[in-house]
Structures are given as structure tokens and as C-alpha cells.
A and B are shown apart, each in its own frame.
Chain A
Amino acid sequence: MKRWFLSGWGTVLAALLGLALLISLPFFASAYTLLQATLYAILSLYTLSLAYIWGYGGIMCFGQAAFFGAGAYTFAVAAINLGDTTLPLLLAVVISALFAAALGYFMFYGRLTDVYMGIVTLLTTLICSQVMSQTAGPNFTIGRVMLGGFNGIPSVPSINFPGHPDSNLDVDQFFQLTTGIVIVAYGLLKLLQRSAFGRITIAVRENESRAALLGYDVRRHKLIVFSIGGGIAGMAGAFFASNQLFIDPNVFNLAMAAQCVIWVMLGGVGTLIGPIVACCGLQFLTTWLSGANIANNSFVLGVVLMIIVLLLPSGLAPASLSTLERLSRRASARVHEADGA
């Protein structure tokens, strides 16, 4: 069962399912559902970035929100200044990847251990939040855009067709674009994992000193993996800003950073599809609970995180898979017993 999921067919199946959703959902879903689904797709892309660098790269980054937010702010500033949104999207990816590379340089070349890496990335996010909150006033203007401090940047443009700033994507198209990008990113990461580069990534994750002794530059390798993750998170951030039409320093807050970590843990560190499923499921749950005024978002996230750590340290998906496996083994053992008797 597990091996089947890990082999290539699982990936193809997941991608096809995503594609089916991408094509069919606009036909029967309401506009509200589509808007929600678009948000899920954007957050899935965000999760994917951490699922890759943590699950495959073994880099414990608890501050993925820093790159997500950097992408969001880059996109907002560039898109308002330029009018067109194609170049800003690319810029968001590049700037976030560079940001990740700069931070990664200090972490990997300083040979920080896991825990310190977690703390440093988290701190970076929090400092970003504090810095961006204080950028109120006319002194903090980039081109035509005021950074706006705690209030953030209003009227971030929607995504438009490349080269046509006047024709925006409609709800259906934006959903299809974001979902499509999730599928493409998922497929590319899976392909990357099958290449030599991907094998080295796993080798570094499993045993850093052995990989180094075999002649691989472990630090540079981790830096590249980290920057790829940063770039993907930046793209998710750009879509996020464009989707909610404004951006404020709350993208850097503790809940935003925690969400991503929770999705990856719940879906299982080491898989890509698990975190995406966990992201959509949990997002659905928190939206429903806070919409019904039962409990607010951070409260639910906090409870879920404590439960995962105490009860499900390997994540919900792997835990349920291994339970399934155990059950099926027991069932088949029973069949064998019956045969024997």
C-alpha cells in the first residue's frame, strides 16, 4: 500500500485528480466555492514549499511565512508601480528566493543545528512583521506605493493576462491558474526528486556527514533547496496578495507561520501530497469554526498543533496509512489462519 503511494503512479494519479478538479469545478461550483477553492490552492502552494524543504531537504524552517510575505509585498509594490502583473509575479519569486538564499547563507554556512535553524527562521518572520508594522508614513514609499505600516498596502491588482493590464483573469480563470500552478509545481518537484539532484537531497537529509564525505557540497546543496522553497513560497505569497486585494504585516504573524508547519506535520513530513490534503482539510475546518463563531483561528490551530505533537508525531496521513497497513496485514493473517485451519 505504502510502496504503491511512493511509486510514480501515486504522483500521476494525484496530478490527474488535481487536473480533473481544475477542469470540472468551474462548471458546477458557485462563485463563492470557487473563491474558497482558489484560496486553498494558494495555501497549498505555500504548503508545498515547506513540504519540499522540510520533508525532502530535511531543513527545519519554521519561518516560511517570511518568504510568503516577502513575495506578497514584492508583488504588491511591483504590480501597483508597473500596472502589468506578469513581471511582478516573476519578481516575487526571484526576490523571495534571494531572501531565502541570504538567510540560508548564515544558517547553513554557520552550521546551525536543527533547532537553532527553526528559531532563526521564526525570528526572521517575527522581525519582518515588526519592521513592516513600523513603515507607516511618507518616508516609506517605493515608487508610487506607500508601505503603509500596520495598515498595509490597499488595492493590490488582480492577475491580468500577460501584456494586457486592462483584462483581468475572472474567478474561473484565476482558480484554474492557481490550481494549475500547484499541479505543475508538484509535478516538477517530484521530477526533481527523481534526478541526481533529488537523490543528493535525500542523501543530505539522511546523513549529512556521509554525503559530505562522498564529496557533495552539503551546505551549497541545502542552500539551493532552501532557495527553491523560498521562491515557491514567494509565488504563493504573490497570489495571496492578489487574491485578497491588499497586503498587511499580518502575513508575517505567528499564526501564519504556524499554519504551514501544522499542515506539513499533519500531512506527514516527507510527502508532498499529504500536506496539501491537510492544508485543505484544516483550512475548511478553521473557516467553518471561526465563521460559526465557535472558536477563533489561532485557538483551533494551537489545539491542533498540541494534539499532533503529543499524539501523532509522525503526522495524520502516515499514521492512518500505517494503521491501514496493520489492519490489512491482520486481516490477511486471519485469512491465512483460516486457510491453514
Chain B
Amino acid sequence: MDYAAVILIQVLSAAAVLVLVSSGLAIIFGMMRIINIAHGEFLMLGAYAFLVAVRSGANIWFAMFVVAPLVVGTFGVIVERLLIRFLYGRIVDSLLATWGLSLFLSGGITMAFGNAMEGIPTPFGALSIGRFSTSWYTVFIIAVAMLLLVTIALVLKFTRLGLVARGSMQNPSMAASLGISPSVTYAATFGTGAALAGLAGAILAPVTGVGPNIGSGFIAKSFITVVGGGASIVTGTGLAAAFFGTINQLVSFWQTSVWGDAATLIAALIMLRVLPRGITGRFFQGAI
């Protein structure tokens, strides 16, 4: 019983991490058709913003929920204006340019902060379930991920902002002719995606540590989730995260974590063979 509870928590937390690392990417890819390879480095920037803020005496929650998203979100808007806006409709070029951005950022941070991994102590203590123990922070990550998905869904569905975003996604020229400025919408969307990446980076920083190359560890997972999820942002991300998180954890329990990652990739490849347009390309079409 305790063992089952621990496994359940592990599976949920794997899915929650996938939701966190991929929601920003899902928004940018789903709404703007921009493939942001630098997404992992946005997470890394969020982790560094969090680290610097905490080291300079800021409250840990303020640093996590305000400083990191704000810094990375602002950076995202700047990147959109300087780089991404020239590349709309050129999906391969956007991929290559953001790949360049990703190398630029990890190289730049290495030059500025050095190559060492920095640690941040995990908040909260240990949580013991019978003979086993895990940390309260894991539970916290699960809660934040669920809250994040619900919030994105509510914003998209019920606010004017969400309406504008969905309208611009479905038919950009119609939205533009109704008086919605495309450049403002795109900059705001990219900034939001970047801010979510920054938030995720800060939340995961105590778990993974902070270093210039942590981004490449996230990027594979987030792309698998987004590609596997398909067109709709919330449903797709949620379902794909649950699916891949479960596979990863079950295989990791059965074998070791090496095979967990490999199994995730193989599952994703098979899934693309069966469902080339992701889960929501076939099921739940039209969901948010």
C-alpha cells in the first residue's frame, strides 16, 4: 500500500515536471508555430535569475514566482523583437535561429558564471509514507503543475486575453483586420511562454541544481511532450505529460532510470508513427 502510494507520487511528479517544462513551449509552438529550441536555455535563465535573487537576499517565494518569470519574460519579449519576428512562417529557420540562441545563451552564461553546478537547498522537509520517504517539495511541484494547467485553461477560455490569443492563433489575418495588433499579440505570447519557462526553471532549480548546461536536459523532455500532445495546449500537454511520465517512471522502477529515458523516446517515436499529429490530432480535437 505504502509502496503503491510512493509509486503514484513518483509518477505524478514525473508528469508534473513534464507539464512544467513544456507548458511554455506548448504555448509558443501551439500559438505561434515557432519551434523554440532555446526553451531549455530559458529554463536555465529562470534558474539563474532565481539563484541570483535568492543569493542577494530576496524571499525565496518572491524570487521563484515573481523575479524569475519577470526576468525571463522580459528577455523573451526582447528576443521576439530582435530575432523571432523576422521568422514568422519560416518554421525551419525559426528552429535554426533559436538553436543558435540556445548555444549563444549557454555559452554566454558559461563565460559569465563559469561551468560549475550551484545548489539551492530544497524548501520544506521530508514526507514519510510508512517505510518510505519522499519530500514535500515533490508534492508542491505536483500541486503547482496542476494549478498551472487549470490557470492556462481558464485564461484561454474565459478572459478577453485568451480570446484574442485563440483568435490570433486560428486566423491571424482575421484577428488583425478586427483591430488586434499582430505584433503586440506575438510579442506578448512569446513573452508569456518565456515567463512560464522562467517559472519552471526556478521551481526545478532546487531539484536539478543550477548550471549553464541544465537546459539541454529539459529540452528533449519538453519537445517530446509537446509533439506528443499535438495541437491543443492544455489537453495535449496534460495527456502527453501523464502518458510519458507514467512510462518513464514505470520503466525506471522496473529497470533503472537509464531505460526510463530511452523508453520515453521509443514511446514517442512509436506514437509519432501511429499518431503523426499527436494525441489531440486524433482525439479530443478542438479542446483547448
Q: Which of B97, B217, B227, B270 interacts with A309 by CB under 8 Å?
A: B97
Instruction: Evaluate contact between B272 and A123: CB separation under 8 angstroms.
Output: no
Instruction: Evaluate contact between A265 and B96: CB separation under 8 angstroms.
Output: yes
Instruction: Evaluate contact between A306 and B104: CB separation under 8 angstroms.
Output: yes
Question: Main SS of chain A's interface residues?
Answer: helix
B251 located at the interface, meaning its Cβ lies under 8 Å from any Cβ of chain A in the complex: no
Instruction: Evaluate contact between A110 and B100: CB separation under 8 angstroms.
Output: no
B111: A residues at CB distance < 8 A: 295-296, 299
B220 located at the interface, meaning its Cβ lies under 8 Å from any Cβ of chain A in the complex: yes
Instruction: Evaluate contact between A299 and B216: CB separation under 8 angstroms.
Output: no
Q: Which of B110, B216, B227 interacts with A129 by CB under 8 Å?
A: B216
A114: B residues at CB distance < 8 A: 92
User: For the complex, what is the distance from the CA of A313 to the CA of B273, rounded to whole Å?
Assistant: 31
State the interface size on chain B (CB cutoff 8 A): 44
A76 located at the interface, meaning its Cβ lies under 8 Å from any Cβ of chain B in the complex: no
Q: Which of B87, B103, B219, B256 interacts with A298 by CB under 8 Å?
A: B103
A310 located at the interface, meaning its Cβ lies under 8 Å from any Cβ of chain B in the complex: yes
B116 located at the interface, meaning its Cβ lies under 8 Å from any Cβ of chain A in the complex: no
B residues 74-91 near A (Cβ < 8 Å) are 83, 86-87, 91
User: For the complex, what is the distance from the CA of A74 to the CA of B196, rounded to whole Å?
Assistant: 40
Instruction: Evaluate contact between B83 and A112: CB separation under 8 angstroms.
Output: no
Instruction: Evaluate contact between B276 and A118: CB separation under 8 angstroms.
Output: no
Instruction: Evaluate contact between B272 and A116: CB separation under 8 angstroms.
Output: yes
A residues 129-143 near B (Cβ < 8 Å) are 129-131, 134-135, 139-140
A6 located at the interface, meaning its Cβ lies under 8 Å from any Cβ of chain B in the complex: no
Instruction: Evaluate contact between B276 and A304: CB separation under 8 angstroms.
Output: no
Instruction: Evaluate contact between B100 and A296: CB separation under 8 angstroms.
Output: no
CB-defined A-B contacts under 8 Å, sample of 12: A110-B272, A116-B276, A120-B227, A123-B220, A254-B99, A254-B216, A261-B99, A296-B110, A299-B110, A305-B100, A310-B97, A313-B93
Interface residues of B (CB under 8 A from A): 35, 37, 83, 86-87, 91-93, 95-97, 99-108, 110-111, 213, 216-217, 219-220, 223-224, 227, 256-258, 261-262, 264-265, 268-270, 272-273, 276
Interface residues of A (CB under 8 A from B): 60, 62, 103, 106, 109-112, 114-116, 118-120, 122-124, 126-127, 129-131, 134-135, 139-140, 253-255, 258, 261, 265, 295-306, 308-310, 313
Given contact pairs A122-B37, A310-B86, enumerate 13 new A-B contacts (beta carbons under 8 Å): A110-B276, A111-B276, A115-B95, A118-B92, A119-B35, A122-B223, A127-B262, A127-B265, A255-B103, A298-B110, A299-B108, A302-B104, A309-B87
